[in-house]
């Protein structure tokens, strides 16, 4: 299906097919309303040969009914459920972004791995959505929802940096019309909990185990339980003790290890009590260890990673201009590269700016402050240079502008000062010589004993200053 020829499906227009699964297909679609109203959304539609399968249809209806009751920023929202021409569909929120599987694969391909802080943040957001689903009630009755398929392919990361959980298609809930048979296993094997793999009773801690597997894999860049066959994978899930993430990734702090490993305990009683407790512990670690929150945001990362798909570049995307790398030369001629946060410059005055230019240029061992322009001169930063390591000083823009103007005035005065004094001295000398010549012309021939020498027709006088010597030649007839 091409964008030029959208397909009519009930009240919706199907613009393009996003994905094709074994049981359903997914389309990017839109719906129009009065006064030019239009809304983008996604249509999940059962494949034709499954429309007559009563068991599958009931499961599809269960998913729609269940997910429609979940309204949370970290869960993809359901807007509509119906049947058109004998084919059931779900209309859901259109998320502009990529699933976590695509994000991890693209980051590995480009060599731009998620930072530890970004991995933790994604887990925090997923935990929020899971806790909401696990504790959701309907008319005062708990729904006892368990997702049972918490995997990277069911987590969306938007281009704006939001994280959303989707696809409750095999979720377990108390009010479902279809019940899983005893001992039946549903879900992706490598992310199953031991109790789920054994077909035992499950609760929200099963989803917590899967989230722990995801976080472990994001931090290490490796698969945890996956093996060559499902049998070997299940065996790893049941028996293998995961190594600490810090043992495989030097950038991962050791104090994060126990938080992750507690999620991966084989016994559900030894895991975190619920997703909220896990998310709270991750949040405490995040704000205790992350210094530059702006730098760890997912939005700039997603724009860099998928710049080609978004049709932007590092220079053209305004969001990527929020942080700029600036290279300048210090007093020794060495290049110094610093990164300046635009929002931080515009919104916070974190230090007092020093005078941008001293009376004399500082030696290489001392720090001087140089004012440089960022982008279109709208954002400025004071950068200390002339030292072995330069640190970035973020200051208020208005203070920097005033400092720049003050520095320019000081520089002009400094350059003008020697020549001004030289002109004054010369004027005094010339005036004195002229006066003396007039007086000598009245009293007698001029006495040239105090002069450095006399050429024919000229009187020569020498003036010594601090840095230079000047000679004044006065003609005899001028006297």
Catalytic positions are: 149
Count the helices and strands in the chain (H runs, E runs). 12, 18
User: Are 67 and 169 a contacting pair, CB within 8 Å?
Assistant: no
- In sequence order, what are the beta bridge partners of 476? none
- Residue 318 sits at the vertex; the CA angle it makes with 312 and 323, to the nearest 5 degrees, is 110
386 CB-side CA count, 13 A: 12
Instruction: State how far the Cα of 242 lies from the Cα of 271, in Å rounded to an integer.
Output: 14
CB 116 within 8 A of CB 170: no
> Taking the alpha carbons of 283, 286, 289, 293 in that order, is the dihedral positive or negative?
negative
Counting Cα atoms < 13 Å in the Cβ hemisphere of 474 gives 23
**Which parts of 79-115 fold into alpha helices (H)?**
100-110
Long-range contacts of 354-361 (CB under 8 A, 24+ apart): 354/382, 354/403, 355/403, 355/406, 355/407, 355/410, 356/382, 356/403, 356/404, 356/406, 356/407, 357/407, 357/410, 357/411, 357/414, 359/410, 359/414, 361/331
| Best CA proximity match to 299, nearest among 280, 281, 274, 318 | 318
Specify the long-range contacts of residues 305-314, CB closer than 8 Å, at least 24 apart: 305/103, 305/106, 305/107, 305/110, 305/112, 306/98, 306/106, 306/159, 310/159
Report the candidate in 203, 24, 220 with the shortest Cα–Cα distance to residue 114: 220
Residue 339 to residue 379: CA distance in whole angstroms: 13
SS3 state at 191: helix
Asked whether the beta carbons of 368 and 385 are under 8 A apart, the reply is yes
Pick the closest to residue 253 from 261, 241, 245, 264 (CA basis). Answer: 245
Sheet with 7-9: strands ordered across: 7-9, 12-20, 24-32, 38-46, 87-93, 78-84
As a whole number of angstroms, the distance between CA 35 and CA 37 comes to 6
177-213: b (≥16 Cβ within 10 Å) or e = eeeeeeeeeebbbbbbbbbbbeeeebebbbbbbbbbb
């Amino acid at each position: 299906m091409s964008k030029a020829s959208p397909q009519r499906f009930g009240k919706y227009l199907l613009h393009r097919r996003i994905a094709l699964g074994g049981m359903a297909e997914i389309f990017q679609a839109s719906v129009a309303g009065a006064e030019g109203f239009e809304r983008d959304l996604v249509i999940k539609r059962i494949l034709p040969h499954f429309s007559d399968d009563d068991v599958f249809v009931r499961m599809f209806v269960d998913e729609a009914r269940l997910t429609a009751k979940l309204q949370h920023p970290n869960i993809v929202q359901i807007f509509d459920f119906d049947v058109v021409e004998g084919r059931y569909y779900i209309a859901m929120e259109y998320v502009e972004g990529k699933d976590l599987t695509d994000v991890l694969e693209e980051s590995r391909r480009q060599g731009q791995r998620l930072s530890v802080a970004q991995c933790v943040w994604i887990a925090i957001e997923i935990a929020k959505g899971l806790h909401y689903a696990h504790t959701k009630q309907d008319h005062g009755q708990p729904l006892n929802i368990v997702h049972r398929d918490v995997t990277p392919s069911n987590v969306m990361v938007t281009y704006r940096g939001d994280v959303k959980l989707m696809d409750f298609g095999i979720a377990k809930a108390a009010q479902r019309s279809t019940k899983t048979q005893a001992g039946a296993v549903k879900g992706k094997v490598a992310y199953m909990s031991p109790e789920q793999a054994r077909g035992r009773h499950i609760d929200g801690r099963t989803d917590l185990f899967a989230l722990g597997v995801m976080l472990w894999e994001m931090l290490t860049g490796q698969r945890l339980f996956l093996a060559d066959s499902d049998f070997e994978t299940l065996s790893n899930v049941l028996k293998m003790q995961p190594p600490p993430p810090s043992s495989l990734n030097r950038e991962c702090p050791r104090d994060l290890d126990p938080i992750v490993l507690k999620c991966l305990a084989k016994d559900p009683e030894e895991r975190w009590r619920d997703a909220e407790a896990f998310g709270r512990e991750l949040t405490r670690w995040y704000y205790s260890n992350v210094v530059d929150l702006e730098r760890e945001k997912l939005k700039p990362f997603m724009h860099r990673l998928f710049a080609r798909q978004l049709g932007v570049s590092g220079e053209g995307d305004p969001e990527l201009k929020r942080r700029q790398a600036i290279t300048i030369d210090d007093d020794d001629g060495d290049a110094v590269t610093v990164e300046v946060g635009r929002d931080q410059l515009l919104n916070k005055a974190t230090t007092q700016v020093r005078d941008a230019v001293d009376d004399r240029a500082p030696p290489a061992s001392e720090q001087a402050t140089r004012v440089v322009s960022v982008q279109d001169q709208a954002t400025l930063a004071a950068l200390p240079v002339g030292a072995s390591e330069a640190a970035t000083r973020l200051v208020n823009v208005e203070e920097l502008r005033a400092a720049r103007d003050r520095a320019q005035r000081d520089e002009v005065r400094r350059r003008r000062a020697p020549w001004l004094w030289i002109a004054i001295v010369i004027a005094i000398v010339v005036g004195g010589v002229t006066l003396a010549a007039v007086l000598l012309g009245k009293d007698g021939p001029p006495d040239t004993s105090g002069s450095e020498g006399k050429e024919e027709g000229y009187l020569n006088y020498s003036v010594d200053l601090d840095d230079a010597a000047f000679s004044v030649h006065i003609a005899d007839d001028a006297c």
